[in-house]
Amino acid sequence: MTGPGGSGTVRSDRLTKGRRMDEAPAIDEAFFGRYRELLDAEDAAFDALEHAYEDGDRSNFERDLDQWRKRVERRHGFLERHGFAPVPAR
């Protein structure tokens, strides 16, 4: 898809529409560091969940599923606190 003037660049209004640059959420090294920690914790929890599923271990699966969900909720909460709300599906 080509943008105006045939430059090949398409700009997403979803991220910028109605928002000035000084109102945009701050993304810095600390943000990325914490986000990476949250992703790593979520990944580790999912690995444990996957192993419990593969082993047919129902009790550990239920516990690991709960832990994974908590990690996902933490990541979503972090993003929401920093101004990144989920975009509804169309």
What pLDDT is recorded for position 20? 57
Written as six digits, the tokens of 12 are: 């997403």
Q: What is the pLDDT along the chain (90 residues), one digit of tens a residue?
A: 434 444 443 334 445 555 555 666 678 999 999 999 999 999 999 999 999 999 999 999 999 999 999 999 999 999 999 988 877 787
Rg (CA), the chain: 19
| CA atoms of 4 and 64, how far apart (whole Å) | 49
| CA atoms of 50 and 53, how far apart (whole Å) | 5
| CA atoms of 43 and 25, how far apart (whole Å) | 25
